[in-house]
Amino acid sequence: MGAYILRRLLLMIPTVFGIMAVSFLITQFAPGGPVEQALANISGQNASLTERVTGGGGDMAAPPQQGQGTAYRGSRGLSPELVERIEKQFGFDKPPLERFGMMLWNYLRFDFGESYYRDISVIDLIKEKMPVSISLGLWMTLISYGISIPLGIRKAVSDGSRFDVWTSTVIIVGYAVPGFLVAIALVVLFAGGSFWSLFPLRGLTSPGFDSFPLWRQVLDYLWHLVLPIIAMALGAFATTTLLTKNSFLDEIGKQYVTTARAKGLTEGQVLYRHVFRNAMMLIIASFPGAFVGAFFGGSLLIETIFSLDGLGLLGFTSVANRDYPVVFATLYIFSLLGLVIALISDLAYMWVDPRIDFESREL
């Protein structure tokens, strides 16, 4: 087991390197990089960014630690000295390979530099947005799995019954409706849109939250999460429920279940002593992707609709603005987290089924 874990940890190094290298290469050919945007804004398209780039006077603001992206393609009539100063500010005065090497060296030390367009370090910016994503992802995962697994087992046991039919209908309809449409409907119905104003529409806490007693803080926090979690959980709820049902149905039809029943074991003993362990393998296998997706990738529209400033919205705005330090830092962190969770998932296999031998497994 120790040798397998060590191999997996070592394999993470070339995997992350490949992800960062491909992403860095793509940005070299992406038009409209930060230098081009800065020069365009200095030409008069955006006075506010001109102030940011020139420091409000004629002097350049302090340069970020490093830059990644496409070089400027044309000076648009501006002086070469100004173009050179802006390229130096964003770190584009160095060759691409040198910039990539500096980025990797800094990232190994978890030094992500500063955002191009915000006066804050990247790591502080991520920490600032993290509570929203943690709240949405963690609660959505716990609720969807906590309901989906028992419901999927019940549907498998009563396959073909009236309960199975009507719950499948509700689940499929819920899965077919996009989460953002559900979010809009919830806002209209319950957040003061056109009917009732039962739930808040902005943020995770109410004004004056810090002065509330603990019990009221907990209730206020959960109160703000109700509508976003409902909107996000429908798709994951349907997928996990049907996956659990099909996995249990497949195991229930196998020979060892018939043998266990012939030995006189009760249905509960057969289901939870034998079937549960084998059927849960597929659920565990799907958990890392579902968890990472729920945590970081699936909340952009929900965050926008409910005015929640989390990592999903941060990632979108960073890509749109070519804020490469934020883009690459979040990509690096999420890649590491995904690989670690995948390893934890493999170790959970052994906990569920000790017959699995990782030492003899080929990577």
Domain ranges of the chain: 2-117, 123-320
Task: Give 123-320's CATH code, choosing from 3.30.300.130, 1.10.3720.10, 1.10.4000.10, 2.60.120.460.
Answer: 1.10.3720.10
Indicate whether 56 pLDDT > 60.
no
Q: Which residue has the higher pLDDT, 299 or 114?
A: 114
User: Residue 90: pLDDT band by 50, 70, 90 thresholds?
Assistant: low
CB atoms within 10 A of CB 26: 11
Residue pair 62/74 in contact (Cβ under 8 Å)? The answer is: no
pLDDT score at 355: 65
Mean per-residue pLDDT over the chain, rounded: 76
Interatomic CA distance for residues 264 and 357, integer angstroms: 31
Please write the tens of the pLDDT for every residue from 137-188: 788 888 888 888 889 888 988 888 899 899 988 888 888 888 788 888 888 8
Residue pair 335/18 in contact (Cβ under 8 Å)? The answer is: no
pLDDT score at 305: 83
DSSP, collapsed to helix, strand or coil, labels residue 109 as coil
What are the residues facing 191 on neighbouring strands? 197
